[in-house]
A and B are shown apart, each in its own frame.
Chain A
Amino acid sequence: MSERTEKFFLGKGRFVDDITFPDMLYLEIVRSTQAHARILSVKGGLTANDLPLNLTSTGESYRRGRDYEVEPVLAKEKALYYGQPVSAVYDRDRYKAKDLVETVEISYDELKPVLSIEESLNSAPIHESRKDNVVSKFEIGKRFSLDSVVKLSDQLYIERVLPNPLETRGIVAYYNSGKLNVWISTQSVYSIKNGLTRILGLDPSDINVYQADTGGAFGSKSAVYPEYVIACYLSMKTKQPVKWIESRDEHISSTRPGRGAKAELQIYGDREGRIKGIEGKIYVDVGAYADDLSSTSPSWIGYQITGPYSIENVFIEGYSVYTNKAPLGPYRGAGRPEAAFFIERMMDMYADHIGIDPVELRLKNLPEKAFESPTGLKLLPSKVFFEDGIKKIGYSELKKKNAGISFGILLPAVFGGESAKIKVENGIIKVWLGGNAHWQRHELFAKRILKEILGIPEDKVFLMNGDTIELQKGIGTWGSRSAITAGNALYKAALLLKEKAQKMNINDPENLLKSDLSSEYYENMQLDPTMISFLLTAAVAEIQDSIKPVIKEVWAYYDVGEPLSEEAVYGQITGGLLMGVQEVLSEALKYDSKGKPIPETLAATGIAYSINAPKYHVQIATFGRSNTPHGAKGVGEAGTVGAPPAAARAIENLLGKRVNRLPLDFDLLA
C-alpha cells in the first residue's frame, strides 16, 4: 500500500484504542469535582498514597531548575483544578471500570477558586508554600523612555483554547519480562520515554515506546500526563497490559489547553507612522501547576512581540501566574499566535489613530536590512515579500471589502534538532523520523527527499510510526519544526546511505532496493533568521442571516521556503487558518464561577464544522531558502498565527467596534 492513508479507509489503522491484548485491564481516572479544595478523604481506588510520584518532566522544553510546582500524578492533600486526577480504578471489563469510578468516595473541604489572571494577582497563593500566585517573572528587552507624539495603549486578552484533536489521548502499557512496552498516541515517543523513565525511575533500556497511529494532537500529545504514569505503574504492579483511553469530557477538563494570555501594551511612534517602541506587561495563566514550557511562555511571547517589524525599543514584563484551572500546555502556535495578535492589534489601532492605511503602516515599519530586536530576535528584511504579497492577494480589491490584514512571522522550534533512520528491507525503504507525524503527512516529504537523493520511486518509501527501538534518539513534532529539522536529518541520512551504497558499488535505485543497507543521522540545530517564515494573511467578514458576524474568505500568502510537499503544505495552511478564524469567533475553553469547564460536548467548545469554513485563497511562496540542504521552512502553525489578527480586524471593520478580546464578546456576536 503506497498511500499511507489508504489503510485508514480499509479500517486497518492501528490507533491506540485498536490495540488489545488478552487479560487487558481498563484504567479509569476518578477526578476532582472541585476546582479548589482540601481533600479530606478518598475511599477507593489507587491514590497518591500508593503512587506518590510527581510529573517532573515536560514535553517540549529543556530548561531545568525553575522554581515552580509540578503536578503530582495523583492529587495529595489538595485538588487544584476541576478534573485533576485523584484516584484510579480498573477492571477487565471496560464498562465495569467506568462503573467503578462512581464507587470511589471523595470528601472535600471547598475553597474559593482563583479563576482569572486578575484574581490570581490579587488572591492568596493557591500553593501555600509560595508567597503569591506568580510562577515566574521575566524582563524582555530593555527599559526605555521615549518622548513620542503618539502613545497608545490597550488591554488584549485571548481565552484558553483546547487542542481537541479528533482522537483523544490514550495509552497502552504492558510490563512483562522486565520491560515496559508502551503504545501511545503521541507527537514524540522520545518525550514520552524520557518523561516516564525519569518519573518512574526506570533504566532507559527497560522501556520501549511505540507510536500508535495518532489522530491529531495540536500540542496535546507531547508531554507526559498523570494518566500515562498511572497506566505504566499499574502494569508494572499487576504485570498485565493496561489501557487508558481519554473520554472527550476528560479532554475538556484535564488535557492541557493553550493560549490564556493577557497583554497590557503601550505603543509609541510619530505621526508619520514610524513605530519607535512597544512596552507593557504580558500575563499567562498557567493553571494549577507549571512546567518549563508554561512558566516561560511570557518570555517566549515577549521575544517575538515585534513581529516582522523593526521596532527599536522594546520592554516587556512577563508574568506567568497560577489559577485553579488545568495546567497550561502548548496549543498549535504556542505563544506565536499570542504575540502576533498582540502586536497586530496595536498596529491597527495605531493606523486608525494617525489615519493611514494599516498596510501602509506595516510596510513603513519593516526593516530594510537584517534587524535584531531588543529582545534578541534576529530578522531578515521582509519588505519585498510583503509588498509582493499585497499585490498577489489583490489588496486594492480587498480594501473595498474591508478586509483585515496581518503581517506575521513563524519561528520554528528547531532547538534540539532531529534524527532520522533509513532502512532498506525486502525491496522497500522504511523511514523513521524522530519527529513523529500525527497529521502532517510527513510521508510526503520523506518520499520526495528519498526520490531526489536516492532516486527511489515514491511507492517504495514507507514512513513508519515512531519507535524508540528502531530509532533510539529523537526529539518530536511540534512548533512547525519538522520540515526543517526532520527534513534536514532525513536528507543527510539519505546522503549517508548513498555514500554507503557507493562504497559497495551500488549506484542505482534498483540495486539499492535489493540491498539491506541502513543509515541513521542526528543533528542539533539552532534557529537562524533564514528559517523564519513570513506570513501575509487577509480576511473578509460578513453578517450571516442578518445576525451573526462570520469570516467569509481568507487569503494566505505564506513563505514556506522551498516546499517539500505542496499538498501537505496546502492542507496544513488551510487547517491552521480555520483554527485561527474559529478562535476569534467562538472556539474557547471558558469556566463557570466554580471553576468547572463550561463546554459539555465537543460541539460546545466552539470548534469549526464544515459549514464554518471560509473560502480559502492560499498561495505558497518561497522567500528565500532556509539554511538547510533542502531549503524548506516551517508551516504547521502558520494559519493559527496569521488568521486571528486578520479575522479580528475584519470583524472590527464590519462592526465598527474594537476587537481586543478573543473570542468575540456577546456584544459583538449579534
Chain B
Amino acid sequence: MKVKLNINGKDYESEIEPRMLLVDFIRDVAGLKGTHVGCETGSCGACMVLLDGMPAKSCLMLAAQAQGKKIVTIEGLSAGDKLNSVQRSLSERKALQCGFCAAGFSIMGTWILENEREIDYERVKADLAGVVCRCSGYEQVIDSIVEAAKNERKN
C-alpha cells in the first residue's frame, strides 16, 4: 500500500507492506537512524517520537497508523547542527554514556519542558518512567532536564 508520512516537516511517500512498523519506516524509508529499536515491546523508549506533539513509542505502531499525523523524531528537535535546550543540557552534564537512549530522553525531555507546569526532580523522574538507561543510574539525566527547564524559564 502507498503511504505518506510527515516527518520533521517533510513528506515521505513510499509503497510499503501494511505490516511495516513506524520505527522501520522512520529508519529505513526516511533514512533517519536516530530513533532506535531497543526492546520491541514498548518497555524501553529507545524508539520514542512525538506524534502530534505527544510522546509515542514508534515500535508499537504500524507506519500506516501514523498517516495524517505530524511526526517529530530526534533529528527534528535540533536546528541544523544546533541541539535544543534539553539536548544541550544533557550534553553539557555528560549525562549520556553509551548514547543509545538519546532519542528517548531528548523527546521526553523536550515534551516535559513544553507541557509540564511544575518541573522539579520528582516530576521529571516520574515522567521519565518509560525511558530506559542501563548505563547511568538516571540521576544525571534527570538533573539535566530540571536544569534545562530552569534555564528556559529564566529566559
Q: Which residues of A approach B to under 8 Å, CB–CB? A: 1, 3-6, 8-15, 17-18, 94-95, 164-168, 213-216, 218, 245, 247-249, 438-441, 444, 567-568, 570-572, 574-579, 600-603, 607-611, 613, 616, 639
Contact = CB atoms under 8 A, between A and B. Distances in A.
Of listed B24, B27, B102, residue having the most chain A CB within 10 A: B102
Given A11-B73, A15-B36, A164 B134 contact: yes
B94 A567 contact: yes
Contact of B100 (A10, A215, A572): A215
A580 to B, nearest CB: 10
Contacts of B102: 5, 8-9, 13
Contacts of A570: 140
Nearest to B40: A248
Contact of A571 (B32, B128, B140, B142): B140
B137 A601 contact: no
B78 interface: yes
B34 A12 contact: yes
A578 B137 contact: yes
Contacts of A10: 34, 74-75, 78, 81, 83
Nearest to A438: B98
A439 B97 contact: yes
A610 B98 contact: no
16 contacts: A9-B78, A9-B91, A10-B81, A166-B38, A166-B100, A166-B135, A167-B38, A213-B99, A567-B94, A568-B94, A571-B140, A576-B137, A578-B137, A607-B134, A613-B125, A639-B137
B129 A95 contact: no
B77 to A, nearest CB: 8
Interface of B: 17, 19-20, 24, 27-28, 32-41, 43-44, 46, 73-75, 77-78, 81, 83, 87, 90-91, 93-103, 106, 125-126, 128-142
A616 B43 contact: no
A9 B83 contact: yes
Contacts of B81: 1, 10
B41 to A, nearest CB: 4
Contacts of A214: 98
Of listed B73, B75, B93, B96, residue having the most chain A CB within 10 A: B96
Contacts of B28: 94
Nearest to B86: A9
A18 B139 CA distance: 29
A5 B99 contact: yes
Given A166-B134, A574-B140, A95 B39 contact: no
A284 B95 CA distance: 36
Contacts of B135: 166, 216, 439, 571, 575
Contacts of B46: 166
B94 A9 contact: no
A602 B125 contact: no
A575 B41 contact: no
A69 to B, nearest CB: 31
Contacts of B91: 3, 5-6, 9
B96 to A, nearest CB: 5
Contacts of B126: 610-611
Contacts of B32: 11
A104 B81 CA distance: 47
Contacts of B100: 8, 13, 15, 165-167, 215-216
A164 B134 CA distance: 8
Pairs of residues from A and B, 6 with the lowest C-beta to C-beta distance, nearest first: A11-B34, A215-B100, A574-B137, A439-B98, A8-B99, A603-B43
Given A11-B75, A247-B40, 17 more contacts: A10-B83, A11-B74, A165-B100, A168-B38, A214-B98, A216-B100, A248-B41, A567-B93, A567-B94, A571-B140, A575-B136, A603-B39, A610-B126, A610-B138, A611-B126, A613-B139, A616-B137
A8 B96 contact: yes
A6 B36 CA distance: 16
A166 B41 contact: no
Of listed B39, B126, B131, residue having the most chain A CB within 10 A: B39
Given A8-B102, A441-B97, A13 B136 contact: no
B43 A166 contact: no
A444 B94 CA distance: 10
Contacts of B101: 166
B142 A215 contact: no
B98 A167 contact: yes
A185 to B, nearest CB: 10
A578 B142 CA distance: 15
B72 to A, nearest CB: 12
A215 B98 contact: yes
Given A13-B33, A167-B98, A575-B136, A610 B83 contact: no
B20 A95 contact: yes
B18 to A, nearest CB: 11
Nearest to A4: B99
B39 A248 contact: yes
Contacts of B40: 247-249
Nearest to A7: B99
Nearest to B93: A567
A216 B137 contact: no
A465 to B, nearest CB: 12
B44 A166 contact: yes
A571 to B, nearest CB: 5
Nearest to A17: B37
Nearest to A611: B129
B145 to A, nearest CB: 11
A568 B74 CA distance: 24
Contacts of B35: 11
Contacts of A639: 137
Contacts of A11: 32-35, 73-75, 103
B129 A609 contact: yes
Given A15-B36, A95-B19, A616-B137, A9 B87 contact: yes
A245 B39 CA distance: 12
Nearest to A615: B139
B80 to A, nearest CB: 9
A184 B59 CA distance: 23
